[in-house]
């Protein structure tokens, strides 16, 4: 009797396990391609609509200025792509090569900041999880640290690092400043939010604090930590780009964006190309973390957000 009831369960489980993952991957890919196609159509469609109306339309008494959509304000997508192969400076390398060097430099700072901020944020969460008085006392400052604009903090870090010895450390530290916060918040939640019985079970084994940490709190926190790291990955790139602006360093995506924005009226497509590259770098970093998450967190029925 037991055997006959167990068999269908086993097959039901086997069925639930296998194929849907692959198909949802394909579905996602199609979705992304579709969204990109729609954005391209909207972009070029708006420009085309503005052009045939001579960049102004009248809606009854309302006159709407559409010069925003002309070629010097919003370049054609083809022009943005084309600008990548033209030299960024006279007799210089083509723009794509220059942007590739910039993004590599910035990505390195971002990654360094991501690691520093990740370790610091994690350590803070572990401390808070075990010493609740420290959590109550310090959490307001942690929150306050993120309400201060990074544009105000960044120059200070540059000056301090200059005094201490190495200005090149300033950019990773600014990236770390933006990174540690989500890691602390999510890790803390992961380390402490579990059913009370999960902790009671450990008590019945007379487990030590150390065993509870490694066998319960840490694995329980892993999905939360990956959510934090995905947020932190994009934040670290923003931090690195912004950090380059006051740093006095002459390379990096932030510097490229700053330079191209000065010459926006002559050549808007170069700034758009830099933005495109910055976005791609963020997507790449995010996807990398999501991939690692998928390899590590295997006990979930469906993919987490």
Interface ranges with other proteins (CB under 8 A): 2, 5-6, 9-10, 13, 16-17, 195, 197-198, 200-207, 211, 215-216, 219-220, 222, 297-301
Q: Write down the least CB distance from residue 126 to other proteins, Å.
A: 18
The DSSP-derived string for 11-48 is HHHHHHHSTHHHHHHHHHHHHHHHHHHHHHHHHHHHHH
Distance in Å, CB of 12 to other proteins, minimum: 9
Closer by beta carbon to other proteins, 9 or else 54:
9
Nearer to other proteins, 19 or 301 (CB): 301
Q: Which of 134, 137, 129 is nearest to 192 (CA)?
A: 129
Q: How far is the CB of 139 from other proteins (least distance, A)?
A: 25
- Gap between the Cα atoms of 182 and 176, Å rounded: 11
CB of 215 to other proteins, least distance (A): 7
CB atoms under 10 Å from CB of 110, counted, come to: 34
Distances (CA, A) of 172 to 108, 236, 242: 8, 8, 11
What is the spatial distance between Cα 268 and Cα 248, in angstroms, rounded to a whole number? 24
In terms of CB distance, is 298 or 305 closer to other proteins? 298
In 131-217, alpha helices (H): 132-147, 150-164, 170-192, 196-204, 209-212
> Which is nearer to other proteins, 123 or 202 (by Cβ)?
202
Q: How far is the CB of 286 from other proteins (least distance, A)?
A: 23
- Distance from C-alpha of 122 to C-alpha of 125, rounded to nearest angstrom: 5
CB nearer other proteins, residue 207 or residue 276: 207
């Amino acid at each position: 009797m037991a055997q006959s009831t167990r068999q269908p369960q086993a097959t039901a489980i086997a069925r639930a396990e296998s194929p849907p993952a692959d198909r949802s991957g394909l579905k996602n890919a199609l979705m992304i391609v579709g969204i990109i196609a729609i954005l391209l159509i909207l972009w070029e469609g708006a420009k085309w609509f503005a052009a045939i109306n001579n960049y102004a339309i009248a809606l009854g008494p309302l006159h709407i200025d559409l010069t925003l959509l002309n070629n010097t304000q919003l370049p054609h997508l083809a022009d943005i792509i084309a600008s990548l192969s033209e030299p960024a400076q006279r007799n210089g390398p083509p723009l794509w090569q220059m942007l590739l060097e910039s993004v590599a430099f910035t990505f390195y700072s971002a990654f360094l900041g991501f690691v520093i901020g990740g370790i610091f944020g994690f350590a803070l969460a572990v401390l808070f999880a075990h010493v609740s008085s420290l959590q109550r006392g310090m959490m307001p400052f942690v929150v306050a640290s993120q309400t201060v604009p990074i544009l105000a903090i960044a120059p200070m870090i540059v000056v301090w690092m200059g005094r201490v010895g190495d200005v090149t450390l300033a950019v990773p530290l600014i990236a770390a400043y933006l990174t540690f916060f989500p890691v602390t918040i999510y890790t803390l939640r992961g380390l402490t939010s579990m059913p009370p019985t999960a902790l009671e079970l450990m008590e019945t084994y007379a487990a030590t604090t150390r065993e509870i940490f490694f066998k319960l709190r840490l694995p329980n926190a892993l999905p939360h930590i990956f959510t934090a790291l995905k947020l932190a990955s994009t934040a670290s790139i923003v931090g690195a780009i912004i950090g380059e602006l006051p740093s006095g360093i002459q390379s990096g995506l932030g510097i490229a964006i700053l330079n191209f924005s000065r010459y926006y009226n002559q050549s808007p497509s170069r700034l758009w190309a830099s933005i495109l590259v910055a976005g791609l770098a963020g997507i790449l970093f995010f996807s990398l973390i999501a991939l690692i998450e998928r390899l590590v967190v295997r006990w979930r029925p469906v993919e987490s957000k």
